Structure formats: structure tokens, C-alpha cells
């Protein structure tokens, strides 16, 4: 459906967001884990189909990003990050900005984990 709406000009980009469930267990929320892992699993196949229409697809796993819900994160969670902090919205945003730029044009069909070294 997305490719059908594309006007055919080269340079289109699509970014799917996942959550890294393929990197470790999340047994307390199986439906969410399966849906996000499915995006990662389908990325390379869908990217080939979209590339034929001039659309470059990649998937980004931003890792734990503090959008307010981690303001009072316990110390044990913070220790899971080598930098001692979870991501901030600008952290994955910089990667996405690069992916959709001309500099990122050679990266296609990849799942990129930008988790700041998060240890599960």
C-alpha cells in the first residue's frame, strides 16, 4: 500500500520502529514482543520490495528511551547502560535523521539497534 502511494521519485525513505524484543526475553508482554520482533524479521524482505519503487526501508530499535517514564528509574536499571543513563529522544532521532539523509542511502533493509549499550 505504501509503495502504491509513492510518486516514483527516487529517494523515498521508510523507517519502522521496533523495540529489540529479538535481543532478549520479554515474557510478561508476549503479544507486544511478537509484534515488534515481526517488524525486525520482515525488514529485509519488505525492503527488497520497496526498493523497486525507490523507497529505502530500515528498522530502528531505539532501546529504552526516557520519554518521561524513566525519570525516576531505579539505580539497577541505570547500571544496565554503560553511560549510566537511558536514551533521550534525541539519541535515536540523530540516527534516523542520518538514515533519511543522502549519507544514509546505502543502508537498506537493516535493523539498527541504538540502545547505548543497554545490557539485558
**Residues marked as catalytic:** 32
Q: Do residues 10 and 50 make contact, with C-beta atoms less than 8 angstroms apart?
A: no
Measured distance CA(24)–CA(7) in Å, rounded:
39
Q: Do residues 86 and 64 make contact, with C-beta atoms less than 8 angstroms apart?
A: yes
Sequence-separated (6 or more) residues with CB below 8 Å from residue 96: 15, 60
Amino acid at each position: 500500500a505504501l509503495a502504491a502511494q509513492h510518486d516514483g521519485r527516487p529517494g523515498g525513505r521508510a523507517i519502522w520502529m521496533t523495540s529489540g524484543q529479538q535481543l532478549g526475553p520479554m515474557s510478561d508482554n508476549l503479544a507486544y514482543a511478537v509484534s515488534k520482533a515481526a517488524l525486525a524479521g520482515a525488514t529485509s524482505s519488505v525492503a527488497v520490495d520497496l526498493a523497486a519503487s525507490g523507497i529505502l526501508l530500515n528498522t530502528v530499535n531505539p532501546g529504552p528511551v526516557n520519554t518521561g517514564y524513566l525519570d525516576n528509574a531505579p539505580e539497577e536499571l541505570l547500571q544496565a547502560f554503560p553511560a549510566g543513563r537511558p536514551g533521550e529522544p534525541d539519541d535515536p532521532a540523530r540516527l534516523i535523521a542520518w538514515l533519511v539523509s543522502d549519507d544514509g542511502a546505502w543502508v537498506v533493509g537493516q535493523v539498527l539497534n541504538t540502545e547505548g549499550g543497554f545490557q539485558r
